[in-house]
Structure 1
Amino acid sequence: MTYKNIIYLVLFVTLFSCKSQIAKEEVPPKAKNVILLIGDGTGLSQISSAFYFKKTRPNYARFKHIGLISTSSSREDITDSAAGATAFASGVKTYNGAVGVADDSTKVKTLVEIVSLQHIKTGVISTSSIQHATPAAFYAHAINRGLYEDIAADMVDSDIDFFAGGGIKFFNKRKDEKNLLEALKVKGFGIDTTALGKFSGIKQHQKMAYLLAENHLEPVAKGRGDFLPQATELGIQFLNKDADNSNFFVMVEGSQIDWGGHANDADYLISELIDFDDAVGKALDFAEKDGNTLVIVTADHETGGFTLASTKKETEDGKSYNDYNEITGTFSTNGHSATLIPVFAYGPGSEAFSGVYENTEIFHKILEATHWNTKK
């Protein structure tokens, strides 16, 4: 072999090796599980409050990939929770009040419906009734979010494997006098209406439901305790329990951050935000150990026009001033606002959640990160 041929051979081998290496690097890791945490009504100031008022380091600080979403609904500049959650669950813009339906009121497929066809387990967890707008958008279809009894019936018909929250009265104290708790049992649900149990006590069940309030759960400041982080951990354990079918999608909602904003009650809001951050920690702890789980933390909208302002004080001679060493939560509205909402992501595919985009892209980015398709 001539010297010239040797050079060509070396160049060929080098180029082939480079192309092979590039091809390998271009294949992104696939997420096998997705945990979507929605802090209802949570904007940047709400998140910031954890960095000032939580006694431990906020779990929000554990993320590296952060983006922003625009949250307007199909007809309004300012969304409500129903339209916002439908954007996440089905990838479409719809009108305020719509649950799992498009702007023309036709049904749209939800993530739960899509992934269940892939034999992926699913769950929803909330500190509100489980029929409330945000959890409902992941399994139900209603032209109005207030149709709670219809939404409860959709839960029975859905493929949900685990749920925890309030709203028992929409199952067993209905106008049609049906007892949908019995219907849930027929579908294989274990049902607990007293308290969250331990995983060892529920792992034998095919499906599991916790209904711990007639309507909504109590605020954390009034005795709810650590329901949300506990339910998050328990739901993950339950959905991940079968070795031959361990992949899952679960949505976790911190509902009452929003309610603190509507009430212009900073203490209520902050205590709920810190509780939600604890649930985020449970999701991240699992994802770090598992290595195959995508964690996404975001919100449907911001509520209250919340601001961490300097505390207004007066000097001895009555002159007012702003004390920059003390923070007070203030509000500009008792409704929702149109501010962009942060998105935090961790795990396989998390890089795609950086940037600025529409809230509907959360749905599509989840499908891209997992390779879960939308075919029947």
Structure 2
Amino acid sequence: MLSLKFLTPFRIIFAISFILAGCTQSADQAGQQQNTTPPNIIFMIGDGMGFEYISAYRYAMSEPGAGTLAPTPFDDLLLGAATTYPDDDTWVTDSAASATALATGVKSYNGAIGIDANKHPQQNMMERARSQGWYTGAISTVHVNHATPASFFTHHPSRKMYEAIADSLATPLQPGVWRFDVLLGGGYRYFSRDDKNWLPELQQQGMTVITEFDQLTTTTTTPVLGLFAAEALPAAIDDQPRLASMTQTALRLLTAKQQQQQQPFALMVEGSQIDWCGHANDIACAVHEMKDFAQALDVVLAYQKEHPNTLIVITADHSTGGLTLGQGGEYAWYSQKVMGITASLEVMTRELLELPRNQWREYLQPRLNLELTEEEWHRIAAVEVPAEAKGRDRQKAIRSAIVPIISSHTRTGWTTSGHTAVDVPVMAIGPGSEAFRGYQDNTDIGKALLKLIR
């Protein structure tokens, strides 16, 4: 130990500086060591969420005429935009091709799940994470074997191979080890089928299987498979929003695993039904799905604040519906009328089919909350449902009559019931977020995420 009493003042200053420099060097080394630890990755995908959906949500949450806009969790995160086109000459992607690009960094054809245009499997970010000892998870508000979650775990030539995708997710990589630690969403019917009931087998092999939402808060062990609906969960406008609570559970379980083994995790969170509402040209449904997604983002941002070595990336796989805020030449969009609608078109049209025509107006009035003209009511009552139509196809005729009426009253425009080729937002915060700044392709997002997993 260096004694100061034998040193001149100059030498004392020098000695203190030397000691402090050593402390600083140690702190710098510790900081550098911490910075070399790969961050947790939370990848949030608003399926169908083009820029216009964020605008619609922001306006819908704001008071018209107040002169200010309500804050949203998206506001401070925007870094750039991304193209979404598939590996063909159409420019318009489907969710499978885009999710494959986001998960693997490789373009493919519409319908492809985790494979390239030549149908060769491509390593996805969850497989890369697993190979490095990371923990993995995914959340979806549709079935967990749907296009987006499937592309992050499996490899199939068609997104329509729902049963085969479910089989891939349920098959262990080795005894007691699956592709995921947490998988939450819908899709019960694909895992419990006449030809194969995976659920008792999975439980016997050590997986926790839950089918009720109230089991989320009491679940403490992984791996866990949560299947809360036969297919998709109910739309947020028709039920309690679920994405935030599933996200909280996933983060709690993955953090507990991380504390045990000191390994990062990768979690994909999909706001799936923004897209479905866009396909239905259902603006009220879409805004409520955006609110559900924003609430999940609030959960994730709060987590990142407590765990700074966490990267959050938010984007969309494409936009849906060709949504415009303003329609028919009128310079207005009536957000308060949108928020007055209390049910999705999916639910309204399904329930109308179970009622006699003379009760349709009584049913719709309190759900639409719009001042329809007599001509508009007559137009709805006069809808012809094709006799040969089956299942949800019977609802299309009714929806095609109601959508233009809602659009006219709210001044909401739609150009398609499909996807569009417009650029989508890219948002990020946390270590490594600079890699997502600027104008990029969706494959660049996937490549940047894969690069961080080591």
How far the C-alpha of 1:289 sits from its partner, in A, is 1.3
SS in 2 for 1:250: strand
Q: Write the distance in 2 (CA, Å) between the matches of 1:235 and 1:186.
A: 22
* Most deviating of 118-127 and 52-61: 52-61
Partner of 1:232: 247
Q: Write the distance in 1 (CA, Å) between the matches of 2:333 and 2:208.
A: 52
Q: How does 1:1-376 map to 2 (within 5 A)?
A: 31-54=38-61, 57-63=71-77, 65-75=78-88, 76-157=90-171, 158-174=178-194, 177-199=195-217, 201-203=218-220, 205-223=221-239, 225-242=240-257, 243-245=259-261, 246-309=263-326, 322-324=330-332, 326=334, 328-368=411-451, 370=452, 372-373=453-454
In the alignment, is the contact (CA less than 8 A) between 1:70 and 1:358 conserved in 2?
Answer: yes
In the alignment, is the contact (CA less than 8 A) between 1:297 and 1:343 conserved in 2?
Answer: yes
Paired residue type of 1:133: A
How far the C-alpha of 1:323 sits from its partner, in A, is 4.4
TM value normalised by structure 2: 0.70
In the alignment, is the contact (CA less than 8 A) between 2:125 and 2:449 conserved in 1?
Answer: no
Q: Write the distance in 1 (CA, Å) between the matches of 2:226 and 2:300.
A: 19
Paired residue type of 2:200: E
Q: 1:103 to 1:232 in 2, by over 3 A?
A: same
**Structure showing greater Rg:** 2
Identity fraction in percent: 35
SS in 2 for 1:144: coil
Q: Write the distance in 2 (CA, Å) between the matches of 1:26 and 1:217.
A: 44
The CA RMSD measured in Å over matched residues stands at 2.2
TM value normalised by structure 1: 0.84
Q: 1:193 to 1:72 in 2, by over 3 A?
A: same
Q: 1:30 to 1:352 in 2, by over 3 A?
A: farther
How far the C-alpha of 1:30 sits from its partner, in A, is 5.2
Structure 1 residue ranges without an equivalent (≥5): 1-19, 313-320
Paired residue type of 2:242: F
Q: Deviations over 1:61-113 (max 9, x none)?
A: 132x5111110000131100000000011111000001011111121111111
* Most deviating of 187-196 and 71-80: 187-196
SS in 2 for 1:48: helix
In the alignment, is the contact (CA less than 8 A) between 2:145 and 2:187 conserved in 1?
Answer: yes
Q: 1:77 to 1:29 in 2, by over 3 A?
A: same
Question: Between Structure 1 and Structure 2, how many residues are aligned?
Answer: 335
Q: Write the distance in 1 (CA, Å) between the matches of 2:56 and 2:333.
A: 15
Q: Write the distance in 2 (CA, Å) between the matches of 1:367 and 1:131.
A: 22
How far the C-alpha of 1:57 sits from its partner, in A, is 2.5
Structure 2 residue ranges without an equivalent (≥5): 1-24, 63-69, 172-177, 336-410
Q: 1:272 to 1:354 in 2, by over 3 A?
A: same
In the alignment, is the contact (CA less than 8 A) between 1:29 and 1:348 conserved in 2?
Answer: no
Paired residue type of 1:72: Y
Q: Write the distance in 2 (CA, Å) between the matches of 1:146 and 1:354.
A: 34
